[in-house]
Structure 1
């Protein structure tokens, strides 16, 4: 189960052989970030947000798992909830979704020709028989080197509204990819969900990623 409305995260999982149930958490990200105060590291912030999303969905579905996840031959329910949160760390600031053209434009003027770290927090919650039986968290960090789009290209990009609604005001897998020179790290994490890290976190809660692939003989589902 994917605790996110992100079409990019869904596309990554689908291309990797998983067809997740999507359940949006609806947590107040700003309130959670504010409650952590200024002493939290950037990695702690994105991981905490990922945890909040995963647990919000897990707590909603655990009273009524029947009908949400499939029961296997031994009537054991295996449900995995994955929550993620991404932010760009640049100049000591964590940047989420800019939301407005003016904020997006100013961020790009700061970003262009420079590099920043795209941080993606992950939380995997495993549920069995209506009870949370395991949790694993982690953060994936990828350095993104931005190009210098012309003013015309930047304004055209802003007009699409794509960068207004994504962490760091850019995408790697869509129009924003034209303005990324290179990355150092995991590309799937930049898109929103790091497959290598999720595989590791699944192992920590006692699952093999192959159990979640479509048409797998295992009863486990994501």
Structure 2
């Protein structure tokens, strides 16, 4: 039966941040880049836009996937956009666009929306939702903006910023799940899995453990040769 099969998660994204988020939670995903052209989808609502893009990414990978008979295959598609001053910001068009955004965003706040579409390929079911987190930006200087944009990091992320890289010091605080800002919310992933009657612990990589077995010490022994 499919419920007893080991779980395989396919991440429909080239984002190293999303992959690292999963890996830090004990989940080692397979990665298949969707290739979806995000510019072809439009909406005047940020939450609807990111969810539709997440659906398209998951679907694009599904058409190329060959599920194994001895695994229960899941596909997760994600997309993020920043809602700021009533506008929707995906990735900036170029450096000038990124600089202009930061000149507007500094000292203010916006809402980062991340759409998640989880497909149980084996069972033919789907669960989806949007996670939203409020981001408060620091009052960065013109020099800081120019130097940050020159690194290239803001050009490849939604809203022209990220908190898990060079842009981290330029975000004063957030209200919500930090994973949403990175592009994948683990608490939301857990809830979506529960909708499909699957535990997130079933995705943990074999051997994942943070607790010592009975009779052993939790403190690692020193390695004289290290």
**Global fold match (TM > 0.5):** yes
Larger Rg: 2
Superposition deviation, residue 216 in structure 1: 6.6
Superposition deviation, residue 50 in structure 1: 0.3
Structure 1 residues 44-100: Cα deviation after superposition (integer angstroms, max 9, x where no partner): 111111011011111221xx223xxx71xxxxx301100000000001111000041
Superposition deviation, residue 27 in structure 1: 1.2
- Which is bigger in relative contact order (C-alpha 8 A, separation at least 6)? 1
For 2:67, the equivalent position in structure 1 comes to 65
Corresponding residue to 1:200 among 176, 191, 197: 191
Within 5 A, what are the aligned runs for 1:117-132? 117-128=111-122
Per residue, is there more helix in 1 or in 2?
Answer: 1
Corresponding residue to 2:60 among 56, 59, 78: 56
What is the alpha-carbon distance in structure 2 between the residues aligned to residue 160 and residue 111 of structure 1? 18
Structure 2 residue ranges without an equivalent (≥5) = 1-9, 209-226
Corresponding residue to 2:32 among 14, 18, 23: 23
Structure 1 residue ranges without an equivalent (≥5) = 72-76, 218-222
- After TM superposition, the runs of 4+ consecutive aligned structure 1 residues lying more than 3 A away are none
Give the aligned length.
199
What is the alpha-carbon distance in structure 2 between the residues aligned to residue 127 and residue 207 of structure 1? 13
For 2:46, the equivalent position in structure 1 comes to 42
Q: TM-score, normalised by structure 1?
A: 0.86
SS of 2:63's equivalent? helix
SS of 2:31's equivalent? coil
Structure 1 residues 94-126: Cα deviation after superposition (integer angstroms, max 9, x where no partner): 100004110000000110000000000000000
For 1:138, the equivalent position in structure 2 comes to 129
Aligned Cα RMSD in Å?
1.5
Q: TM-score, normalised by structure 2?
A: 0.85
Superposition deviation, residue 152 in structure 1: 1.6
